[in-house]
Structure 1
Amino acid sequence: MVPSIRSSDSNVPQGRLLRFQDAFLTNNSVSEFVWKWRCKLLGSADIDREEDLPRLTDEEEVGGDPVSKIMYEGPKSYFDSYDWVDYPPKQISKETAREHGRVAIIVFKVKDHEKRCISGRLPLKYHAIEVQNLAVVSALASVFKKQDYYISETETAIFEAPFHLLFFCQDEIKQLSAGLAADDELAPYLRLFVNTMNPILRDIHTKLNSLSGSGLISFATVWTLFPRGATVYSTDLESEFLCKVLKAEYSSLSADEQYLQICVKVIRFNGDSFVWTTKMLRLNSFSGNKPIKQLRHYPVEHHADMAGVYDRLQQRGKMMLDLQDPQHRSYNNVALHWQDSKTSTKHNVESRILVDVSGYRKYQDDSLHRGSVKRKWSNRRNEDEDDLDDWAIGAWDQSSNDYDFSDADANQPENRTFGRQITESQCQRNKEMMLRRKDDLPFLYGLVGGFALKTKLWVEFYIEDIEPIIWNNTAYSHLVYDEEQKDLILSFVQHHSFASATPASVSFASRSPPNDSSSAATEALSGKAPRRTLAPGEDVIIGKGQGLVILLSGPTGTGKTLMAEAVADRAQRPLVSLQADNLGSQVDTLGTNLRRFLTMAAEWNAVVLLDEADVFMAERDPGNIHRNELVSIFLRELEYFSGVLFLTTNLYETIDSAFRSRVSLHQRFSSLSQDARRKVWHNFLPCLAPQTQEVDGDAGAVVPTLSEADINELSVWQLNGREIQNSVKMARMWCDRKGYAMTLDRLESCIHATNPSARKGVEVVEDYDQEGYG
């Protein structure tokens, strides 16, 4: 330790003082060497002399002596790289320790390495304040409690730079000091604290005042924008939202990479209720000054259109109120898929989706959630179910600073309905509660969890881009198939959807009950547990054989896939379309994946389409154990599936007999006849834009470019439905690019280009029961 010599002492010239200190520092290593041997020779309270150490054996064995040894951080340690030595560092004397202990407040200063070094000397800056007077600590504790910061009233309190608490609470501390009576024992100590605090915060105020008029902020003072309770506007994850600040503090990934971490809370739906959840925002460091409005997160009052922000987010919040239960919607934007709690990837989703918060929490790992959604049960909870703060995370709410919510009560069930779909009455109750709290609507988060039907991923969707579905009713009418058989399949699907509906699997097409007025249907839709009676044809084992399995077999391009898609759209049901690669071909993954998809479909009352399912339905072979295991797993899961399942195959003859016995309906598709092909050509060609060409100088005249005779000529080509569709598509692109009119010759040219093996002539129709395509 460098000796403390007052530079103001007239008996010691300044030059001699500096030379003395330099000489002492130069000889510091000598002093350390002397101290080391002093400890080894004379001992200390922490070191036992070697001759006093007990020995059980004279042999040099690791761990052989029943003694412990203390190692100390040595003088050559650097940051977290420790140089361990076996003697203690030099300590201050007891007299000096007593002198330090008597003062009420200790102020610590360190060298300011961010400022210029002049003549080898760095200026000093405030590092910390330690309050040792317990009366002052007790007075400050009541102030800091409102900032959700708790200090022990029986221990000294230490506040470190950049002194967040002191800055945000300075006005209240000054009011507390000014309100004390002159003869109050606490008054001189609290005035001392205020007088000590003022110069520490003066530099911060000076920096803020110099930038206040220009709307700029520096990274060193950006934390002053985020006091507890401030409403922050953020564009995190490319979505604007409002949140309330809980705390903000600097953190770092390395010595050169610092950032401000802002802990905030937003309102999210957790599958059961609307709750406050925590979220972490991050501001990366920046050099110089930066406009506040260019920050990714900043107080909403700095926004140029604050009223517009509140209005937009309130409207979005109202949209979220209608997305509590599973909703079949359309989406066209990017969605976020989370690999872990901090890493997400963007996926383009241009398809139909299922908005399902409860399913997202059930099937997506709970550790991926960005904020805790654990319910908080309050010790102060009353009968008012509309009090959103009773479910708040954190111990604070802007509207009432003295709220005190405890952690989840061990006696209360946590996540009462998580994993089960919310009922319609719960949705309505939540909606009414939130509409009464209009000031909270803008704080509803802008992302909602759900399932992308095309990519088969659980993702988070941007609420603004979720749109209603436009049902494709023309697909059913364009399906070239026996009308009676089409109606039969549609009726079975519609009836099964209603008959199996439960409070956990509701209709997406309509909230109204079906025409069936039976008591069982009424009880099922009202949420009551129906009386358990064995229906005609039902399996005697409860839970078995309740699914509707429809097998569609036939050659490629005859309309099997379109049948499932068209029926699902006409029934206004979600369609979960699966391929073999979605399920996997390994025994240990097939059962899990298949059960997962079938369970989700049953919860959504969706139609499942397993396209090209031959690999799972093939006849079992004693010589192929792996395939036999796959077939057995598929049979087992199919037995207990309660929804609607379409299976398509090109190889009916190879299907295992056990599958045939489990099929509810079997529709066989034949190759398209000429008459069927004519209908398919008619279905596709009217979808083209009107054709125009020049007639007698009239460039805008509309003329028929394809006659009925041309359609008859096209139907002679032996093509399946998919090949016809592809030929029309290519011809359309060619004619649009060149400005040609659609003609028979051009269509036939595209037939040759897309399917060189196609030929005209009378085909031999395979011996199938029905023919069809759309």
Structure 2
Amino acid sequence: MNKTALVVRRIISKQGMVASTEVDIKSNLLRDVLLEIWNGVEGLQLNKTPPMINPELLFHSLPSLTKRLAAEDAKDVPDKALIHDLGCALEFINEDFGRAMASLASLSEHDEITFDLVWALFPPHTIAFTKDNMLKEAQAMRFLSGSYEKRQDGTSYYSMKLQMISHDGQELGWGDSSLEINGFEGAKKVHHLSCFPLSVHPEEDTTRAQLIQRGRNYVQLLETSCKEYNGTAITEDRKIVIRGNYKTVRFYARGRIMLDPVTFRQQNTYSDLLSPYVSVPAKAESLTENELLLCSHCMLGFSFAQKKWGVFAISKVSDVHWNASAFDKLVMDLKKRDLVHSLVKSHRNDGAQFDDIVQGKGKGLVGLLSGSPGVGKTLTAEVVSEVTQRPLYMVSAGELGTRVDEVDERLEMVLEITRRWGCLLLIDEADVFLQKRDGLDLKRNSLVSIFLRRLEYFQGILIMTTNRKGSIDNAFESRIHFKLHYDDLDETSRAAVWTNCLDSGPPQMAKPNFSEEDIKGLAKLKLNGRQIKNAAACAFSIAMEDGKPLTIEGIRMILDIVVEDVQEGN
């Protein structure tokens, strides 16, 4: 019988204090039992020569070792050597951690813990729960290891290494994460820690079920998904660099988003938002409930309204409700309306029925809308987006930049992701790209040439707007599939716009009861569609704040304030 089951070494500091403890496992029988207990746990040193174990890990082995000893002792022919070695291990644990166990027993009666005993809450592979992230979302993670550390300012913290299931834009799988529990005085409720075992959560069963369902949602959203979003998201401020990394900032996102980790990585190769990076791949279809529990609370994507790449909380994502009747609200000639609808509805991302002689050319659908501001050009694109159920990516020419190389790079990005996502792309005020070239302005000529070249191989749907109908470069004529000019709104059209805006008020407010004469009176004012929409929105906001229904007097008050020369228009 090998009487030496384990060897304990105390590492003494310069001050003569015990700095750390190391335990060598001399018994092969004990080593095998410990390997069985911690099967699948990474970072074990039990297969080294000599086999070693962290004293805290040996402490966490106490329940399993006790159970194993009882089972062996109950056998008709017990293994005396194993019983001896297990007894030695238990003796070490009880002697070395006797005080800690007594304190833990007392603290557990009140569901409390002290900072020096936080480590005891987390055996390897404990399911840890936290909301310590920028989105303040619930997240379950698998605990791997921890250690007490000190910052430069002298404050202490417990550093934790954990794992979760996430998609880093390349693959789905296990990624490493880290958390810190700041030092604190006295005792503290365990579930008040910034991170604690899910098993002590006051609503463990409900929380577990919610996290598993969210994991299912996460897996489903891995397929490129257009969704609605309303809440806080995260992006990078690339104007600010902190310790070599772009500053991570929150922003409020509302409206349509596209969840697509793969395209995010293609467009943001070196972004810190890609972390945690996957170290062990996993298959989405084979995830168990215990693994779905550990799926990330957020996903990489793009906000169309804010035009920002970012990280979006799964809990704030909802299905898109497309407005199939949006065309009914568009004040426009019926023949023109039906033409646009039919052209866009029939177009497919894989190319039209007819192809160009050169492969990859001529597969896009390009439209040009011209007219004064506020006559419905942008609204037409928004309506087409709704009825064809394609997300609208709207960008102004100014957002694409002014330098030739900058415009080329951004235009390539915009055209590619709109093609990939099947978007309807709207380039507002595209005059700079459409103007006739001459021999004087070389920069403008270059911009037009770049746009023409990109347009030639574009395979998506593009609608451009311009305020100047007659200054289009001849080369665009053959590349534009349909052109629509919008006349200024007449009195009949303005009445229809007023009616639509007043019928589309906040859902919590009663529909305004305006007479036909009221609408006719409003229509006499020479306003464009955007001015009418803004006036109606302001009037609704004031009425809602006052808790009163919207009246014609409320509309007139707004018009007197925000619209110049209203009296003259009357």
Q: Report the TM-score, using the length of structure 1 for normalisation.
A: 0.63
Return closer, same or farther for 1:265/1:742 CA change in 2, 3 Å cut-off: same
Structure-2 change in CA distance of 1:193 and 1:574 (3 Å): closer
Work out whether residues 539 and 550 of structure 2, in 8 Å CA contact, stay in contact via their aligned partners in 1. no
Residue type matched to 1:239 in 2?
Answer: E
Name 2:528's counterpart in structure 1. 720
Residue 365 and residue 681 in structure 1: after superposition, are their counterparts in 2 closer, same or farther (change >3 A)?
A: same
Using a 3 Å threshold, how does the CA distance of structure 1 residues 676 and 192 change in structure 2: closer, same or farther?
Answer: closer
Quick one: distance in 2 between partners of 1:483 and 1:109?
Answer: 87
User: Using the alignment, how far apart are the partners of 1:194 and 1:291 within structure 2?
Assistant: 29
Partner Cα separation in structure 2 for residue 154 and residue 561 of structure 1: 68
Q: Which has the higher contact order (CA 8 A, sep 6+)?
A: 2
1:164 matched to 2:56? The reply is yes
CA RMSD of aligned residues (A): 3.9
SS of equivalent residue, structure 2 residue 253: strand
Say if 1:342 and 1:316 are closer, same or farther in 2 by CA, change over 3 A: farther
SS in 2 for 1:349: strand
The 1-side partners of 2:107 and 2:247 are apart by 36
Given residue 299 of structure 1, which amino acid in structure 2 is its aligned partner?
Answer: P
Question: Residue 143 of structure 1: which of 31, 34, 55 is its match?
Answer: 34
Counterpart residue number, 2:3: none
> CA shift at 1:293, angstroms?
1.1
- The residue aligned with 1:664 is 481
1:426-477 alpha-carbon deviations (Å, 9 max, x no partner): xxxx55x45xx34443333221222111111222222222112222345421
Aligned partner of 2:251 in structure 1 is 347
Answering whether residue 340 of structure 2 is matched by residue 489 of structure 1, we say yes
Q: Measure, in 1, the Cα distance between the counterparts of 2:396 and 2:256.
A: 17
Distance 1:282-1:338 versus aligned 2 partners, 3 A rule? farther
What is the aligned counterpart of 2:267 among 337, 353, 363? 363
Q: Give the Cα–Cα distance (whole angstroms) in 1 for the partners of residues 506 and 117 of structure 2.
A: 62
- State, as a whole percentage, how many aligned pairs show the same letter: 28
Matched-pair contact (CA < 8 Å) for 1:341–1:369: no
Q: Secondary structure at the match of 1:668?
A: strand
Residue 241 of structure 2 is matched in structure 1 by: none
Change in CA separation of 1:623 and 1:125 when aligned onto 2, cut-off 3 Å: same
Q: Is the counterpart of residue 107 in structure 1 residue 13 in structure 2?
A: no
In structure 2, C-alpha distance between the alignment counterparts of 1:710 and 1:165, rounded to whole Å: 80
Match of residue 399 from structure 2: 582
2:29 matched to 1:127? no
Q: Secondary structure at the match of 1:348?
A: strand
Q: Indicate the SS of the match to 2:323.
A: coil
Contact 1:271-1:324 at 8 Å conserved across structures: no
Q: In structure 1, what residue type is equivalent to 2:34?
A: V
1:213 pairs with 100, 105, 109, which one?
109
Structure 1 residue 313: Cα displacement: 1.9
Match of 1:614 among 426, 431, 436: 431
Amino acid at match of 1:335: A
What CA distance in whole angstroms lies between the structure 1 residues aligned with 2:13 and 2:512?
89
- State how far apart, in whole Å, the 2-side matches of 1:244 and 1:154 are: 24
Say whether the 8 Å CA contact 2:173–2:279 is kept in structure 1.
no
Deviation at 1:603, TM superposition (A): 1.2
Q: Deviations over 1:344-370 (max 9, x none)?
A: 322111111112233233333365333
Superposition deviation, residue 341 in structure 1: 8.0
Partner of 1:595: 412
Structure 2's unaligned 5+ residue stretches are: 1-5, 238-243
Measure the CA separation in 1 of the matches of 2:539 and 2:559. Answer: 9
Match of 1:449 in 2: 300
What is the CA-CA distance between 1:152 and the residue it aligns to?
7.7
Task: Provide, for residues 5-27 of structure 1, a one-character-per-residue CA deviation record: whole Å limited to 9, x for no partner.
Answer: xxxxxxxxxxxxxxxxxxxxxxx
Which protein is richer in strand relative to its size?
2
Post-superposition offset of 1:342: 9.6
How far apart, in 1, do the equivalents of 2:79 and 2:515 lie?
Answer: 104
Contact persistence 2:166–2:296 (CA under 8 A): yes
Per the alignment, do residues 170 and 723 of structure 1 end up closer, same or farther by CA in structure 2, a change over 3 Å counting? closer
Letter aligned with residue 452 of structure 1: S
CA distance in 2, matches of 1:234, 1:247: 16
How many Å separate the matches in 2 of 1:671 and 1:651? 13
2:273 counterpart letter in structure 1: L
Could you tell me which amino acid in structure 2 is paired with residue 500 of structure 1? N
- TM superposition shift of 1:759: 6.7
Q: 2:181 aligns with which of 269, 283, 287?
A: 283
Q: 1:411 aligns to what?
A: none
Query: Does 2:498 correspond to 1:681?
Result: yes
User: Take 2:450 and 2:29, find their aligned partners in 1: how far apart are those partners?
Assistant: 68
Q: Does 1:333 align with 2:333?
A: no
The aligned amino acid for 1:455 is: Q
Q: Is the 8 A contact 1:107 1:129 kept in 2?
A: yes
Contact 1:141 1:153 in 2 (8 A): no
- The answer on whether the counterparts of 1:752 and 1:758 sit within 8 Å (CA) in structure 2 is yes
Counterpart position of 1:742: 551
Give the letter aligned to residue 742 of structure 1. T
User: Which AA in structure 2 matches 1:149?
Assistant: G
Query: 2:359 aligns to what SS in structure 1?
Result: coil
Alpha-carbon distance, 1:253 to partner: 3.3
Unaligned runs of 5+ in 1: 1-103, 114-121, 377-390, 393-429, 503-520, 522-534, 693-701, 763-774
Partner of 1:547: 364
Question: 1:580–1:612: 8 Å Cα contact kept in structure 2?
Answer: yes
Instruction: Indicate yes or no: 2:559 matched with 1:708.
Output: no
The answer to whether the 8 Å contact 1:547/1:640 transfers is yes
Cα distance in structure 2, aligned partners of 1:609 and 1:588: 21
Q: Deviations over 1:196-253 (max 9, x none)?
A: 6653333332332332222111111101111112222222321113222222223343
| Amino acid across the alignment from 1:655 | I
- The 5 A counterparts of 1:164-243 are 164-169=56-61, 198-237=94-133, 238-243=136-141
1:476–1:137 Cα change, 3 Å: same
d(CA) in 1 for partners of 2:512 and 2:473? 52
Counterpart in the other structure of 1:66: none
Aligned residues: 547
Task: Give the direction of change, closer, same or farther, for the CA distance of 1:561–1:374 in structure 2 (3 Å limit).
Answer: same
Contact 2:214 2:315 in 1 (8 A): yes
Counterpart-to-counterpart distance in 2, 1:211 and 1:602: 60
Q: One-letter code of the match for 1:148?
A: E
Distance across 2 between alignment mates of 1:487 and 1:198: 83
Residues 149 and 731 of structure 1: CA distance in aligned 2, closer, same or farther (over 3 Å): closer
Distance 1:298 1:549, change over 3 A: same
Equivalents in 1 of 2:473, 2:492: separation in Å?
A: 34
Counterparts of 1:189 and 1:231 in 2: how far apart (Å)? 30
**Contact 1:333 1:350 (8 Å CA) reproduced:** yes
The answer as to whether partners of 1:501 and 1:605 remain within 8 angstroms in 2 is no
Residues 1:313 and 1:126: Cα distance change in structure 2 (over 3 Å): same
* AA aligned opposite 1:494: K
Q: Secondary structure at the match of 1:318?
A: helix
Distance in 2 (alpha carbons) for counterparts of 1:364 and 1:750: 45
- Does the 8 Å contact 2:361/2:456 carry over to 1? yes
Q: Which amino acid aligns with 1:265?
A: Q
- CA distance 1:342–1:280, change in 2 (3 Å): farther
SS at match of 2:184: coil
Structure 2 residue aligned with 1:467: 318
Shift of residue 181 of structure 1? Answer: 6.4
- 1:303 corresponds, among 201, 226, 241, to 201
Partners of 2:143 and 2:547 in 1: CA distance? 60
2 CA distance for matches of 1:153 and 1:680? 77
Query: Which residue of structure 2 lines up, in the alignment, with residue 562 of structure 1?
Result: 379
Cα distance in 1 for residues equivalent to 2:252 and 2:228? 13
